[in-house]
Structure 1
Amino acid sequence: MSDDGAVDLAASARIARFGKLPERIRYEDMTEVREVSPNGGIGASYNPEGSWQYFSCLALDLGL
């Protein structure tokens, strides 16, 4: 048996077992462009002094 026949046989067995790969998705289809609101949206800015309100600390929760 030639190498080409073995490769074709292996490829057909693989396709029969696993099927076909899905079609590629273009980059343009994966991205979305949105307009930014004039005020930047609520919570759009980063406030380092107020960031502790949004994260919990296990040591603080346990009173350590």
Structure 2
Amino acid sequence: MSHEETATEAARRSERFGALPERIRPEDMVETTPAVRHDPDRDAYDSDDFAVRYGL
């Protein structure tokens, strides 16, 4: 194996593997979605209404 072949192979390796890929932040690797869609009727709790219906 000659020195020229080794330099050519090294140049090919450097071209292919010479730089690492761009870093990805951990925050960008996670996607959060709610398990249930927002339902305004379900979240409209009125403590006075509950007391009138079930407490009296």
TM over 0.5: no
Provide the TM-score with structure 2 as the length reference.
Answer: 0.26
Select the structure of larger CA radius of gyration: 2
